[in-house]
Amino acid sequence: MNRLAAPLRFLTELIAWVAAPWALAPHSILLAVLADLLLIGLPTVLATPGDKEQVLVAVPGWATVGLVLLQLTAAVVATWCAWPTWAAVLTCGLAAACLVTERPRWRRLLAAPRSRAA
C-alpha cells in the first residue's frame, strides 16, 4: 500500500491544482491564481525533515498532514463546483483511497519528535 500512496497523493494534488482555479476563475481570476500559489507553493516550501530530502522551511509532521488534507479537500470541493458529477465522484474515490494509503506516513509524521523549527 505504501507504493500507492505517493502516486495517489500526486494525482489528487494535480486535480486540486487544476480544479480549484477552474472553480474560482468565474468569480475572481486573482483568487484562482492565489489558490494555485497556495496549493503548489506551500507544500514546496514547507516540509517535515525526514519526509523530504530537501527542506526549505521545516515544519512539524502535523503541518505536512494538514497540507495533504488541504490538497484533498481542495480537489474534492473544487471538482463538485466546477466539473461534471462523474468527475467529482471519481475524485471522491481517489481522495478516499489517498486517505487510506497515507495512514502509515501520517502515523510516522505525527509520531516524529518535535524539531526546533516546530
- The domain segmentation of the chain, as residue ranges, is 2-111
Which has more pLDDT, 45 or 1? 45
Return the sign of the alpha-carbon dihedral for residues 2, 64, 41, 44: negative
**What is the pLDDT, as a whole number, of residue 77?**
98
CB 51 within 8 A of CB 82: no
CA 78 to chain centre: 13
Which has more pLDDT, 63 or 117? 63
Which has more pLDDT, 98 or 3? 98
Mean pLDDT along residues 90-116: 88
Q: How confident is the model at residue 2 (pLDDT cuts 50, 70, 90)?
A: confident
Report angle CA 85, 87, 89 to the nearest 5 degrees: 70
CB 68 within 8 A of CB 74: no
pLDDT in tens, 6-30: 999 999 999 999 999 999 999 999 9
**What is the pLDDT, as a whole number, of residue 113?**
64
Q: Is the pTM of this model over 0.85?
A: yes
Flag whether pLDDT at 81 surpasses 90.
yes
Residue 16 — φ and ψ, nearest 5°? -60, -40
CB 109 within 8 A of CB 62: yes
The rounded mean pLDDT for the chain is 92
CA distances 16 to 21, 22, 35, 83, Å, are 8, 10, 9, 12
Mean pLDDT along residues 61-80: 97
